[in-house]
Amino acid sequence: MYLRTEGVILKRRNFGEADRILTIYTKDSGKITALAKGVRRPKSKKAGHLEIGSWCKIFTVRGKNMDLLTEVELKHAFGIKDFTEERANKIYHFLELVDALTAEHQKNPGVFNLLISFLKKINNENNFDLVSSVFKIKLLSNLGFFAASTLSDSQAKWVIQILEEEDFETAKSQIRLSEQGYLKLLSFLDSMVESLTERKLTTVRFLNGQ
């Protein structure tokens, strides 16, 4: 059995002397784990394509214990293109959210498209608080964890409903929150994620002051 699709590298860890185990969110199979054999060798042609945050075309085949990554073609290196530490921390935060909230092999093209779209917005939008708020609300809504319609009637419900239901440009034109307002909203959303996943988000602390 094989899989040819697109995916974003969510995380990786070294395995054995020269291999890496990759967690990839794919368009056609959701989150998968794949072994990239020999990728840490100096002459490996795959190494530069498999950085965290890279958007790739991939080909995997079913192995005895784990899927094997046999081909990879880089589409965009979100994690290293025009690298700054601040931008990388924001990217890694979005990757952690997708990894934490999704189960393996549950196809959801909506989540894949949302991730690609908002990784692009990290570079193109100045208001990261707005980008982060919209991404988190839409991600939670897409996965069935949250709906603004269930909230009590309030100003907060109106704001969150716009962020959930409208496209980004519409939300951007209608929402005007203060820094404190965004802080409260993002704290609420992060707490929800941590409650759902029963674990702390490790990347949040790197966003302080950004």
Last residue of one domain, picked from the residues 77, 95, 118: 77
Last residue of one domain, picked from the residues 24, 58, 77: 77
> Domain check: are 50 and 91 in the same one?
no
Closest listed residue to residue 60, CA positions, set 95, 102, 105: 105
> Domain check: are 60 and 127 in the same one?
no
Q: Radius of gyration over alpha carbons of the chain, in Å?
A: 18
Closest listed residue to residue 100, CA positions, set 198, 186, 207: 198
> Domain check: are 164 and 182 in the same one?
yes
Side-chain half-sphere CA neighbours of 23 within 13 A: 13
> What is the rounded distance in angstroms from the CA atom of residue 9 to the CA atom of residue 95?
8
Residues spanned by the domain of 178: 85-207
> Domain check: are 58 and 112 in the same one?
no
Amino acid at 168: F
pLDDT digits (tens, 9 = 90+) for 12-49: 999 999 999 999 999 999 999 999 999 999 888 887 78
Count of C-beta atoms within a 10 Å radius of residue 87: 19
Instruction: Say what the pTM is.
Output: 0.94
> What is the rounded distance in angstroms from the CA atom of residue 198 to the CA atom of residue 79?
27
> Domain check: are 164 and 192 in the same one?
yes
Scan for tokens 């795959």, then name that residue.
46
Tell me which residues of the chain have a pLDDT lower than 70: 81, 208-210
Tokens representing residue 178 in the block:
């203060």
The three-class DSSP label of residue 41 is: coil
> Domain check: are 49 and 109 in the same one?
no
Q: Looking at residue 210, what is its pLDDT?
A: 44
Contact 17, 50 (CB under 8 A): no
Contact 11, 99 (CB under 8 A): yes
Q: Looking at residue 201, what is its pLDDT?
A: 95
Q: Looking at residue 152, what is its pLDDT?
A: 83
The DSSP code for 24 is E
